[in-house]
């Protein structure tokens, strides 16, 4: 299934190899310049409405042992990707980590390193990891609701699937590649999307029939959403014009989940325009919800507090809504889970909370 995008990716990657070769041949110290992947270096892109890397660069060169290893790894990884594309295989990031055993001094020290380098290569080659035939360990999460799509399966067969009628209770599972050649979005009877953090709440909404009764397309985020999940939501939003509501726990980590869905994650800011859905709205749980609905809470721990403070310095959270929410949470020193709404019964979330909140947003 080699296509133009793969060819382009290989071409771009081989340019990196050539550059390293030429540097060695000229007697220079090989290097590679990368966007600095830190919150210091993300800027709001007004055209795309997402946060992307700014102009700060980091120089990876062979003067340090780590830099030299990373460059050697880069060569091995490009070679590996090239071979996969030509033999029409793909591998997981984890498999690549193990394959690196044979890369001499280029062997990865941990799987994190292989993940990071894959992203680095996306940045320098202006391609996508999916174009490298590398996929994450886990696939995207589940979807339930009135959405019809055509998926091209592993045998090349096109299957039309309705994500409410043609699937079991666990829903449609989002594949790691959700580009149009794999998943063709046809139509949806839903009025909006609710992206949900926890499996428990997802199942609650399914059991309560929220998708059918309220015309919602339910997407399970499974904590920090995988790239394919975020891309899938973005495509639904852009192509089928479905507004997106993000329903999460009320704690600092959930705020970051929202930021990665709506603004773009720091780690993947080079492809925010491809992954982020700027119009996505945060439903809750907000600090004000905790007070307003008098929800059961847990105390913030030290990590929670540090995370909140770090968010106050995060450019993505520099607006009135987030500053006041974060400060309110710091002040009350409490956090609450989505499922705390069960305090008022199992139907409270679908009968009262969501209609009230989504109503405020103009979605219900």
Partner 1 sequence: MHSSEDTASRKTEGRSIAHKLADKQQEISVTEFFEKNKHILGFDSRSKSLLMGIKEAVDNALDACEEAGILPELKVGVSKCDDDEYVVMVEDNGPGIVHKMIPNVFGRLLFGSRFHSHRQSRGQQGIGISATVMYGNMSTGKPAHIMSKVDDEDTAWMMDIIIDTKKNRPVVSNDEPFIWADKTSGTKIEYSIKGRYITGRQSIYEYLKNTAIVNPHARISFEDPEGKVHIFERATDIMPPKAKEIKPHIEGLELGDLQKMANSSAQKTMRAFLKNDFSRISDRVASEILEKAQVSENFKTANLDRLQCREIMKAVEEVKIMAPPTDCLSPIGDTLIKKGLKHVLEGMRPDYYSPPVTRPPKSVNGNPFIVEAGIVYGGEIPVDGQVTILRFANRVPLLYQQGACVITKAIESMDWRRYGLEQRGGKGIPYGPAIILVHVASTKVPFTSEGKEAVANLGEIQNEITLALRLCARNLKGHLNKKEKKKKTMAKFSIVQEILPEMAQKAAIMLDREVPNLDRTISRIMNVVWVEPSSQTSKGGLRTIQYRIFNYTSTEKSFRLHARLPRSCLNETIISDQLVDVSEEGKVTWSIERLAPSARFTLQFQLDGDMSDVFDEEDIYISGLNPAMVMGADPLPGDWSIADMDVTELENGDGDYVDDDTDDDEEEEVLEDDQ
Residue (of 281, 263, 282) closest to 273 by Cα position? 263
Residues 61-90 that bind partner 1 (CB under 8 A): 61-72, 75-76, 78-79, 82
Regarding 277 and contact with partner 1 (CB under 8 A), the answer is no
Q: Which stretch binds partner 1 (CB under 8 A): 33-41, 91-99, 280-288, 331-339?
A: 33-41
* Closest CB to partner 1 among residues 228, 286: 228
Q: CB 12 → partner 1: shortest distance, Å?
A: 14
Q: Which stretch binds partner 1 (CB under 8 A): 52-60, 210-218, 238-246, 283-291?
A: 52-60
Q: CB 119 → partner 1: shortest distance, Å?
A: 9
**What is the DSSP secondary-structure string of 195-225?**
EES-HHHHHHHHHTTHHHHHTEEEEE--SSP
Provide CB contacts within 8 A for 122, sequence distance 6+: 128, 129, 132, 270, 271
Q: Which of 268, 272, 286, 350 binds partner 1 (CB under 8 A)?
A: 268
Token pair 């847990």 is found at 298
| Rounded Cα distance, 342 and 138, in Å | 30
Q: Which of 96, 265, 336, 341 binds partner 1 (CB under 8 A)?
A: 265
Regarding 21 and contact with partner 1 (CB under 8 A), the answer is yes
| Sign, Cα dihedral of 84, 85, 89, 91 | positive
How would you classify the pairing of strands 192-196 and 216-220?
Answer: parallel
Measured in residues, the chain has a length of 364
Q: Which of 17, 118, 330, 332 binds partner 1 (CB under 8 A)?
A: 17
Of 98, 172, 263, 282, the active-site residue reads 98
Residues 187-246 that bind partner 1 (CB under 8 A): 223-227, 230
What is the b/e burial string over 211-235, where b = at least 16 CB atoms within 10 angstroms of the residue's CB?
Answer: beebbbbbbbbbebbbbbbbbbbbb
Regarding 49 and contact with partner 1 (CB under 8 A), the answer is no
Residue (of 234, 9, 249, 240) closest to 124 by Cα position? 9
Q: CB 297 → partner 1: shortest distance, Å?
A: 24
> Is 98 a catalytic site residue?
yes
Binding residues vs partner 1 (CB under 8 A): 14, 17-18, 20-21, 23-30, 36-40, 58-72, 75-76, 78-79, 82, 104-106, 116, 136, 223-227, 230, 256, 259-260, 265-268, 310, 314
Catalytic site positions: 98
């Amino acid at each position: 299934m080699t296509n133009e995008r793969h060819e382009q990716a290989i071409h771009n990657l081989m340019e990196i190899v050539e550059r390293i070769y030429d540097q060695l041949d000229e007697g220079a110290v090989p290097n590679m310049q990368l966007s600095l992947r830190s919150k210091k270096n993300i800027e709001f892109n007004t055209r795309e409405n997402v946060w992307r890397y700014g102009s700060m660069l980091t120089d990876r060169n062979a003067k340090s042992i780590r830099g030299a290893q990373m460059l050697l790894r880069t060569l091995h990884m490009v070679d590996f990707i090239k071979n996969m594309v030509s033999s029409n295989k793909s591998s997981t990031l984890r498999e690549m980590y193990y394959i690196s055993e044979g890369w001499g001094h280029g062997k990865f020290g941990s799987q994190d390193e292989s993940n990071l380098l894959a992203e680095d290569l996306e940045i320098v080659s202006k391609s996508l990891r999916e174009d490298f035939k590398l996929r994450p360990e886990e696939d995207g999460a589940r979807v339930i609701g009135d959405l019809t799509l055509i998926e091209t399966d592993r045998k090349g067969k096109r299957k039309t699937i309705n994500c409410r009628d043609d699937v079991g209770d666990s829903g449609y599972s989002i594949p790691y590649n959700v580009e149009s050649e794999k998943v063709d979005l046809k139509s949806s009877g839903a009025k909006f999307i609710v992206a949900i953090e926890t499996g428990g709440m997802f199942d609650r909404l399914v059991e309560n029939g929220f998708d059918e009764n309220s015309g919602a397309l339910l997407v399970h985020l499974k904590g920090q959403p995988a790239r394919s999940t975020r891309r899938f939501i973005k495509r639904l939003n852009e192509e089928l014009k479905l507004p997106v509501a993000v329903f999460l726990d009320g704690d600092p980590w959930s705020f970051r989940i929202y930021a990665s869905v709506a603004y773009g994650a720091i780690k993947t800011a080079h492809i925010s325009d491809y992954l982020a859905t700027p119009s996505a709205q945060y439903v809750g749980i907000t600090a004000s919800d905790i007070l307003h609905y008098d929800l059961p809470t847990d105390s913030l721990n030290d990590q929670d507090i540090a995370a909140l403070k770090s968010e106050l310095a995060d450019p993505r959270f520099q607006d009135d809504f987030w500053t006041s929410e974060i400060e309110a949470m710091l002040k009350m020193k409490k956090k609450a889970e989505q499922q705390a709404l069960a305090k008022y019964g199992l139907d409270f979330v679908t009968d009262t909370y969501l209609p009230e909140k989504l109503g405020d947003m103009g979605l219900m």
